[in-house]
Structure 1
Amino acid sequence: MINIKKLKISANDKELVDISFKISTSTALIGESGSGKSLTLKALLNLLPNSLKYQNEIDCSFELNYNTIGFIPQNPFTSLSQMTKIKNQIFCSDEKKEEVFKLLNLSLDILNKYPSQISGGQIQRVVIAIALSRDIKLLLLDEPTTALDLENKTNIINIIQDLQKQLDLKILFVTHDIDSIKDICNDIVILKKGKIIEFGKTIEVLENPTNDYTKELINSTFKNKEFRK
């Protein structure tokens, strides 16, 4: 379990995030734009700008660093260099490349191709392969299905489910897509203006929300578009 006892982020004495939550197996982080989801991910990745003050207390059986955390960004199409072959964008041994490509059902021929030569679904799986090129223990996902069509979205969700079981990964899944988290995330955290306003087992919260804001999120059509105000 990863116990984030206290995560606080501020700028110019203005509090942006002040939360505490646990990742027992898989947790979904949901809220409108500006709720603090992206800041939370950046804090865990140690990518916050120097202009922000950051305080974090974590109880975890392993150290959270580059070697133990994998990250899947929102837009896989902009995370790869279009001028570089795939094999030169995965920094690990050839044996490890073959291992993760086999795990993700990717042809090794893709290693010698450029991103523009493969499909959107293949690009997403390549990005996942990059995240798995190290022996990570925590996988952070930032809206991983946003740029995909329904078929590829379903495939990626199934892949993430399989990886979680096979590799025993802890997962923090930021998304607006209810269909995505129902089958992957055991727990859900609802954020509003940098605070947690509701949390619990995913199915229980989605079926019986106690907070009006949570009800509004669930009733909105954010399975098709981002919930905004």
Structure 2
Amino acid sequence: MLNIEIQKLKVKSQEKILLDISFKITKSTALIGESGSGKSLTLKALLNLLPSSLDCEKEINSNFDLDFNSIGFIPQNPFTSLSPMTKINKQFFCKKEKKEEVLKLVDLDTWVLDKFPSQLSGGQIQRVIIAIALSKEIKFLLLDEPTTALDIENRNNIINLVDNLRKDLKILILFVTHDIESVKDICEEIVIIKNGLIIEQGNTKSVLSNPTHDYTKTLINSTFKNKDFRK
């Protein structure tokens, strides 16, 4: 079984500590927090994308090689993630057979390869981005608010697609979002982050049903309001 253990991940700006967290990823995991909580810093630190002005210390262990070929990344805004002047076919870096294979995985036909991004819907673009990530032999998929720019129908479709992919391909996922509702059914573990610190973590259903921290309770209440999230 794949696993990643982030024993220490610390990001500093001069003397100010912006992020100081440790957690394990052994199942599908959600990292939840409001804007400014440290979610984006965590992603950038894991992907080695932090600006040089920040100092980063990290100790990460995994039972597979964490490198370019094993990690896939789905960014927040699908509309700015592809070159607008390049056809989809040229935005893949793999052979034709692999393109066809991964497009099938995300329920797209090969006709999209001859299109420019502007000729596709938001949902189709997001599926293309997921297909590009899958064109490598990834074992770990990072998702940064991947449904924020989509309408409700496409949001639900993408969530279901990600859920099916992580089961079929047996990959680890870290789903970063402020929206608990979008991950409550696909992430088995949940990590709540605030001001660069983890304040609560555990089994998703257990945390949602019996939160111990006031911040978690506030997030749950603001997300679900009168909805029954325990179903």
TM > 0.5 fold call:
yes
Deviations 1:150-204 (A, max 9, x none): 1111110110011001111100001122222111101111111110000010111
CA distance in 1 between counterparts of 2:4 and 2:114 reads 38
SS at match of 2:208: helix
Shift of 1:221: 3.6
Partner of 1:46: 48
Decide whether the 8 Å contact of 1:68 with 1:135 is kept in 2. Answer: yes
From 60, 63, 67, the counterpart of 2:62: 60
CA distance in 1 between counterparts of 2:98 and 2:181 reads 32
From 113, 117, 126, the counterpart of 1:124: 126
Partner of 1:198: 200
Which residue identity is paired with 1:89? Q
Report matched runs for 1:24-103 at 5 Å: 24-103=26-105
Decide whether the 8 Å contact of 1:45 with 1:65 is kept in 2. Answer: no
SS at match of 2:185: helix
Aligned residue pairs total 223
Shift of 1:66: 1.2
CA distance in 2 between counterparts of 1:54 and 1:87 reads 37
Partner of 2:155: 153
Partner of 1:207: 209
| TM-score normalised according to structure 2 size | 0.94
In structure 2, stretches of 5+ residues that fail to align are: 226-231
Distance of aligned partners of 1:64 and 1:123 in 2 relative to their CA distance in 1, 3 Å threshold = same
Deviations 1:88-145 (A, max 9, x none): 1111111110110011111101001101111111111001011111000000000011
Decide whether the 8 Å contact of 1:82 with 1:116 is kept in 2. Answer: yes
Deviations 1:5-44 (A, max 9, x none): 1101101111010000011111100111111100100111
| TM-score normalised according to structure 1 size | 0.95
Partner of 2:24: 22
SS at match of 1:99: helix
Deviations 1:64-83 (A, max 9, x none): 22111100011001101111
SS at match of 2:200: strand
Partner of 1:134: 136
Percent of aligned pairs with the same amino acid: 69
Partner of 2:229: none
Partner of 1:219: 221
Decide whether the 8 Å contact of 1:177 with 1:222 is kept in 2. Answer: no
RMSD between aligned residues: 1.2
Partner of 1:106: 108
Shift of 1:58: 1.0
Structure 1 ranges of 4+ moved more than 6 A: none
Partner of 1:144: 146
Shift of 1:51: 1.0
